[in-house]
Amino acid sequence: MTGCFAALSEARPHRNTQNSRAITGYISTHVERRTCNQRPTSPSNTLYLSHHSVQATKMYAYLLLAAVAVFFVFTFVLHPLYAYLSDPKHLRRYPNFHPLSGITNIPFMVEATRGFRSKALREQHKKCPVIRIGPNSLSYGTGRAIKDIYGHGSGCIKGELYEVLAGTHFHITDVIDKYEHQRKRKAVSAAFALKNMENWEYKVADKTERFIRACDKACTPPLKKEMTRPNPEDLTFDYRSYTNFFSIDAIADIALSEHLHLLDKGTDIVQAERMDGSKFQVNFRDCLHGTARAQSIIVWASQWFKFNKWFTRLVSPEFRRLWKLNDGWEALVYNRATERLKRYQNGEKLSDIFQAFMEDRDGNPRGLEWGEIVAEVSILMNAGSDTTGIAMCNVMYWLLKHPDCMTRLREEVDAVLDADEVVAPYDKVKHLPYLRACLDETLRISPSTSFGLPRRTPAEGAYILGDFIPGDTTVAISAYVAHRDEEIFPDPDKFIPDRWLGEKGKDLQPFFIAFSAGARGCIGRNISYLEQTVLLASVVHRYEFALPHPDWEQTWLEALNAMPGKMPLKVWRRDLSNREV
């Protein structure tokens, strides 16, 4: 059809030419008039419209900012202030940690950034047994409150802090539901039982032997008697790092039958794995401690945890670094869980805690979800390595600061070990009273977990130290504070292992919460004592150690745990006659 119209046009090019011109002129005239009537946009009109658009945008922005301001003022000022003044739970009867603690958790969070919150808390508890540390939180400063908060008969349960720190699945430590916790604990209780320590002793002995190899390499000539401080170049052994390498290697073997060889390599670099399967290298301790540091600061405001995590990552370079380390921690846990699950699925029957989680005693699968497996691996590698490594470092520090205690311990150990024994057999040293007293006194004066583990009072409320505390109130006792209760532990700032000997030591046990207490006490307590006992007996029997100088002081950085800094030591072999290497 288009071709026909074109042909007709070409065949009659001049037909009705005048009419066409007339029509064309008429249309052009009317188009021009219509265009004029529409008042074409001039530069001034464009500016006029642009100005109004900007004004409208500004108006909406101001309204949004006003709404945000109203929200923040109501949420963070008016509502907390009203709750404080109305005081429905009667918590104003307790003195505040900070003048603003009755209104906001921020002062307690800020104190965490200073490095040792429990020490500041202890100073205040010298004046008051109960302190309000947040709008809905109380801290207790006496060990006599332990039974009411953590004891077997207590109705207090774990609360929001554990919920927000949990991932998609709860592990045995952060699970809140009582019956779910019983299920998990029952599944692995045999693996942690005292009677089954021989199942793990050979793994601990192997790590002790590797630790000793590292010590042998670092040995220097004996310190001359007239010298009070070693030469700086002789401080060749960082005891803090190597005790942590020991505890990481040990729990990786005990829990997962994995050999990380950190003691052999002298480094904590391990493999991590992202969800997409890509792998990379991370520093185990940096990832773990960075995670703990970031979490411990913001977790006290549990209801704002996710927002605070996002906000701190957005605005703070330091928090960005810490949260990146948290990503590394999750990736290294994912890799540990993935690799161990592959071995399980390939039919390997291994003697470790992972096997106990996966199957009952009859070999029947427990049917755990993948998320739960990852969660359990995470807590095993976290709590199973960090607290024990801290305790091992701390006990050596306190013994070196008290040479008389070290001498007494050596005499006790030497009496049961042969001169040529390199690794102390657990059966020979597990009942040595002074050795155990040194371990317990270290855990008292420098508890690995110093942070007050929070509990929530039941809905009906609870009596603590004879006072009624309304329901859904957070209560806690810092082990660092409770272990310095002068009524229970005289001279609390002095290292006195003798306080744990005999009947008086038994009387102190109810007030000892280095492993928490009650039904939620640390399930890995026996394994921790196994590792500490064998390593300490072995090294004090074989070596002499010296601090940089007699007045040298250890420092600690508190997150959820109180992490000691580097501890460079001079190490040399003891002069034991008839000793065979």
pLDDT given at position 269 = 98
> Strand, helix or coil at 40?
coil
Model's pTM, two decimal places? 0.86
Contacts of 190 (CB under 8 A, 6+ apart): 196, 356, 361
Q: What is the mean pLDDT of residues 316-344?
A: 97
Q: Which residues contact 55 (CB under 8 A, 6 or more apart)?
A: none
Q: Is the pLDDT of residue 99 over 60?
A: yes
Distance CA 392, CA 413 (A): 17
For residue 137, is pLDDT > 90? Answer: yes
Q: Which of 2-11, 133-142, 268-277, 516-525 has the lowest mean pLDDT?
A: 2-11
578 pLDDT higher than 80: no
Q: Quick: pLDDT tens for 549-560.
A: 999 999 999 998
Asked if pLDDT for residue 565 goes beyond 80, the answer is yes
CA distance 104 to 89: 16
Strands (E), 67-223: 130-134, 137-140
Which of 36-45, 452-461, 571-580 has the weakest average pLDDT? Answer: 36-45
User: Does domain 140-573 match CATH 3.10.20.340?
Assistant: no
Span 16-33, pLDDT tens digits: 434 444 434 433 444 344
Judge whether 522 is annotated as a binding position.
Answer: yes
Mean pLDDT along residues 336-352: 95
Residue 132 region by backbone torsions, left for phi larger than 0, else alpha for psi between -120 and 50, else beta: beta
Instruction: Indicate if the pLDDT at residue 205 is higher than 90.
Output: yes
Q: Where are the domains of the chain?
A: 57-86, 140-573
